[in-house]
Structures are given as structure tokens and as C-alpha cells.
Amino acid sequence: MSKEIFYVEVTDTFGGEANYSWVRRFKVHAKSFRGAIVKVGREMGLPFRVACHFPEFSRYDSKSGATCAFVSDYTYQAAFMNVKSI
């Protein structure tokens, strides 16, 4: 299986919903959605658990519940600035 490129957004939560008072964006080379979130988790020092999975994206919540991450295929995200490649 070859590596794909994934787009990951990590943000804070408020009442269990994504809040976006701050956001970190990543372009990740990995074999799967799970592989992408593992790399981001290592980068940020947060353990993530799957919250829901859809064909287009997956949501992962941190163990503390204070942050969440959205993982999707990287399909030209040029509109966003400051996307860190890992």
C-alpha cells in the first residue's frame, strides 16, 4: 500500500463541539486516516481516539476531550495558510 496525502485540522472543543478559537493544520503523508492521526498526535503530544468515521472524513477526539481533529483526503487546500507538512 502506497502512502497518500491527508489534510488534518486540530482545534479546541467547547461543549463537545469543534470551537475553532485556535486551529493547527497539517499535510500528512500516511497509509491511512489512522496513520495520519498517529503522526499528528506525536507532533502535538496528544493521544487521539476515533469519534466518528465517514467516507469523506473522520473525527478524532483527544483523550482529554479538550481538542479534536478532522482528517480528510488532501484535495488542494490552497485556501488555507500555515499548513505544516509532516
Largest CA distance in the chain: 38
Each residue of 14-37: pLDDT tens digit?
999 999 999 999 999 999 989 999
- 56 forms bridges with which residues in the sheet? none
Q: Which residues pair with 10 in a beta bridge?
A: 24, 69
Q: Identify the H or E element spanning 44.
A: helix 33-44
The per-residue pLDDT for range 44-66, each reduced to its tens digit, is: 999 999 999 988 889 999 999 99
pLDDT at 75: 74
pLDDT at 77 exceeding the cut of 90: no
Q: Which residue, 8, 10, 9, is CA-closest to 64?
A: 10
